[in-house]
């Protein structure tokens, strides 16, 4: 009998191609997702060495980081020269190497981490990599998924494997149920608040417990998406009936007898009783409140009912960092978080750009108007999310409320396309990073859930969404 194993152990074991004496492994990669920013030199490397893509059928590319999300983006003039060159390079590389591709003009185009699951590329038990740190998102399916660098992108393209050392096992359990108004985003931010941005360094996290089981697949993707902000290499959630139901019928999911065989295998993907954990963190679902970030690190998390902290509330190196955050964010210690005025609201990104996120925001916005002078935008995570939201009438709710209704892409999650904050502008954002300058030089970011973002858009300041429900 083999020793009890974690879910991570099982997926790892099933993908080891070769193990060197020093423990370094060659790991087989089932799905390689590619976008325009981190791939050009990797393809160039293949050309220079006369190599081909080993498994083009397992390689999926989509442009997302650079592409404008305004309705006129078919007009090339909406892109800067170097962005356009990067997108065109991806077009050409996809064609030349024969990989799966969703160009900007395709309705299925969107953020790579939304497109992968939506098209059924991401399935339980797989290894998934992408030259992007938020690849952890795919862990929601019980897939081992993480970001890689450009030289590794080339390595995977050429060999369909990655040179890796195994990480440690960490269990994050969320017991009980969430209270009304509390979402997956609040869970994932609260975990980072509790463990810090380095708390997961060297680990692969498995999220479990009743509150995680009760989440939809969309919610689980939100939780795993930010495993990286907690320092972890990857986040995982064991697949269950909800996972199977989500995957069934997707374009690239197995069908018929293969489907049956797949489900039988997927049902073995859970951490065994008695498996060894190097670290365990437990939070009570009932204790989690709607949260926001106040500073410039994702660990600067507080319940919306709180006040802005003072640098002196911290210890060690964090004192200086907190002071720098307060200065950058233009906040005074002691002020109520709900008194922080907002001028921009961004709903979207690979963290919260899925249909359920749009439903949650629309539920708050229905029949209401955004605050005068507020700049608010909804950027669906993919063309298909956008289409579905239009069908469900959500788009009209956003438009009636005064939101811009955009095309799919990364948009204001990072300042690489035309959507940027100006210095001093303050944004309530459903994305995942609040670093200095992340949304534009001098821009200030407060991370929160889609429902909380909608609430802030209405009132013009950070708001406890529960007061509007």
Partner 1 sequence: MDKFTRLTGIAAPMPLVNIDTDMIIPKQFLKTIQRSGLGKNLFDEMRYTQDGAEIPDFVLNQPAYRSAEIIIAGDNFGCGSSREHAPWALLDFGIRCVISTSFADIFYNNCFKNGILPIVMPQEVVDVLMADARKGANARVTVDLEAQTVTTSDGQSFAFDVDGHRKHCLINGLDDIGLTLEKAASIDAFESRNTALRPWA
Residues that bind ligand SF4 (CB under 6 A): 64-65, 111, 113, 132, 134, 349-350, 410, 413-414, 431-432
Q: What is the separation, in whole angstroms, between the first and last Cα of the chain? A: 53
Site string for partner 1, 44-73 (x = CB under 8 A): xx--xx-x--x-------------------
Task: Let me know: does 229 contact 433? Beta carbons within 8 Å.
Answer: yes
Choose the contact partner of 41 out of partner 1, ligand SF4, none; CB within 5 to 8 A by kind: partner 1
- Dist CA 323 CA 310 (whole Å): 8
Choose between 25 and 379: whose C-beta lies nearer to partner 1: 25
Which residues have C-beta within 8 Å of that of residue 299, sequence separation ≥ 6?
192, 193, 196, 197, 229
| Contact stretch for partner 1 (CB under 8 A) within 118-126, 295-303, 325-333, 451-459 | 118-126
Choose the contact partner of 432 out of partner 1, ligand SF4, none; CB within 5 to 8 A by kind: ligand SF4
| Contact stretch for partner 1 (CB under 8 A) within 154-162, 179-187, 231-239, 321-329 | 154-162
* Tokens 């709180």 found at: 306
When asked if residue 125 is in the footprint of partner 1 (CB under 8 A), the reply is: yes
Minimum CB distance to ligand SF4, residue 350 (Å): 3
What pairing do the DSSP bridges indicate for beta strands 375-378 and 31-34?
unpaired
When asked if residue 212 is in the footprint of partner 1 (CB under 8 A), the reply is: no
Token pair in block for residue 333: 């210690």
DSSP 8-state symbol, 341: B
Choose between 250 and 324: whose C-beta lies nearer to partner 1: 250
| Contact stretch for partner 1 (CB under 8 A) within 256-264, 396-404, 422-430, 445-453 | 256-264
When asked if residue 250 is in the footprint of partner 1 (CB under 8 A), the reply is: no
- Dist CA 143 CA 127 (whole Å): 6
Minimum CB distance to ligand SF4, residue 236 (Å): 19
When asked if residue 335 is in the footprint of partner 1 (CB under 8 A), the reply is: no
DSSP 8-state symbol, 295: S
- Dist CA 131 CA 56 (whole Å): 16
Task: Let me know: does 365 contact 457? Beta carbons within 8 Å.
Answer: yes
Choose between 289 and 350: whose C-beta lies nearer to ligand SF4: 350
88 sits in the region (left: phi over 0; alpha: psi -120 to 50; else beta) called alpha
- Dist CA 385 CA 111 (whole Å): 11
Choose the contact partner of 414 out of ligand SF4, partner 1, none; CB within 5 to 8 A by kind: ligand SF4
DSSP 8-state symbol, 339: G
Angle between helices 383-391 and 394-401 (to 10 degrees): 90
- Dist CA 94 CA 72 (whole Å): 24
- Dist CA 354 CA 362 (whole Å): 12
**In whole angstroms, how far apart are CA 245 and each of 120, 248, 250, 253, 280?**
12, 5, 10, 11, 29
Choose between 132 and 464: whose C-beta lies nearer to ligand SF4: 132
Site string for partner 1, 5-24 (x = CB under 8 A): ---------x--xx------
In the list 56, 78, 85, 287, the residue contacting partner 1 (rule: CB under 8 A) is 85
Choose between 49 and 315: whose C-beta lies nearer to partner 1: 49
When asked if residue 194 is in the footprint of partner 1 (CB under 8 A), the reply is: no
Task: Let me know: does 197 contact 299? Beta carbons within 8 Å.
Answer: yes
| Contact stretch for partner 1 (CB under 8 A) within 131-139, 250-258, 363-371, 449-457 | 250-258
Choose between 45 and 176: whose C-beta lies nearer to partner 1: 45
Minimum CB distance to partner 1, residue 131 (Å): 13
> Measured over all CA atoms, what is the biggest interatomic distance in the chain, rounded to whole angstroms?
66
Minimum CB distance to ligand SF4, residue 432 (Å): 5
Site residues for partner 1 per CB under 8 A: 14, 17-18, 26, 28, 30, 40-41, 44-45, 48-49, 51, 54, 82, 85-86, 89, 123, 125-126, 151, 154-155, 158-161, 163, 253-254, 258-259, 261-262, 265
């Amino acid at each position: 009998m083999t020793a009890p194993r974690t879910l991570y152990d099982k997926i790892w074991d099933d993908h080891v191609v070769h193990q060197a004496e020093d423990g370094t492994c060659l790991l087989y990669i089932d799905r390689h997702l590619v976008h325009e920013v981190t791939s050009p030199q990797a393809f160039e490397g293949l050309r220079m060495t006369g190599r081909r893509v080993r498994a083009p059928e397992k390689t999926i590319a989509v442009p997302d980081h650079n592409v404008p999300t305004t309705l006129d983006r078919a007009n090339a003039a909406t892109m800067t020269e170097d962005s356009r060159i990067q997108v065109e390079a991806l077009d050409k590389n996809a064609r030349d190497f024969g990989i799966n591709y969703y160009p900007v003009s395709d309705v299925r185009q969107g953020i790579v981490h939304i497109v992968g699951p939506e098209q059924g590329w991401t399935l339980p038990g797989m290894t998934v990599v992408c030259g992007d740190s938020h690849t952890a998102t795919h862990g929601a399916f019980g897939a081992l998924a993480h970001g890689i660098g450009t030289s590794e992108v080339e390595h995977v393209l050429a060999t369909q494997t990655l040179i890796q050392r195994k990480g440690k096992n960490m269990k994050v359990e969320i017991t009980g149920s969430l209270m009304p108004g509390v979402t997956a985003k609040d869970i994932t931010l609260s975990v980072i608040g509790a463990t810090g941005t380095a708390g997961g360094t060297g680990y692969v996290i498995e999220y479990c417990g009743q509150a995680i089981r009760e989440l939809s697949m969309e919610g689980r993707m939100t939780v795993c998406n930010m495993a990286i902000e907690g320092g972890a290499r990857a986040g995982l959630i064991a697949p269950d009936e909800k996972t199977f139901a989500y995957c069934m019928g997707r374009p690239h999911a197995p069908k018929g007898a293969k489907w049956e065989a797949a489900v039988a295998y997927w049902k073995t993907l859970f951490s065994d009783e008695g498996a060894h954990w190097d670290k365990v963190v437990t939070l009570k679902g009932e204790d989690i409140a709607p949260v926001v970030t106040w500073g410039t690190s994702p660990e600067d998390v507080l319940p919306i009912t709180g006040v802005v902290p003072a640098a002196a509330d911290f210890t060690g190196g964090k004192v200086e960092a907190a002071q720098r955050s307060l200065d950058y964010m233009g906040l005074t210690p002691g002020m109520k978080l709900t008194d922080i005025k907002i001028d921009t609201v961004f709903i979207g990104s690979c963290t919260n750009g899925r249909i359920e996120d749009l439903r949650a925001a629309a539920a708050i916005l229905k029949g209401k108007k955004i605050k005068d002078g507020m700049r608010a935008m909804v950027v669906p995570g993919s063309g298909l999310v956008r289409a579905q939201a239009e069908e469900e009438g959500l788009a009209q709710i956003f438009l009636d409320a005064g939101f811009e209704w955009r095309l799919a892409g990364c948009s204001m999650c990072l300042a690489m396309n035309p959507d940027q904050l100006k210095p001093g502008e303050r944004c309530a954002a459903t994305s995942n990073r609040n670093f200095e300058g992340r949304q534009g030089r001098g821009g200030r970011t407060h991370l929160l859930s889609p429902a909380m973002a909608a609430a802030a858009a209405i009132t013009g300041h950070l708001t406890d969404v529960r007061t509007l429900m």
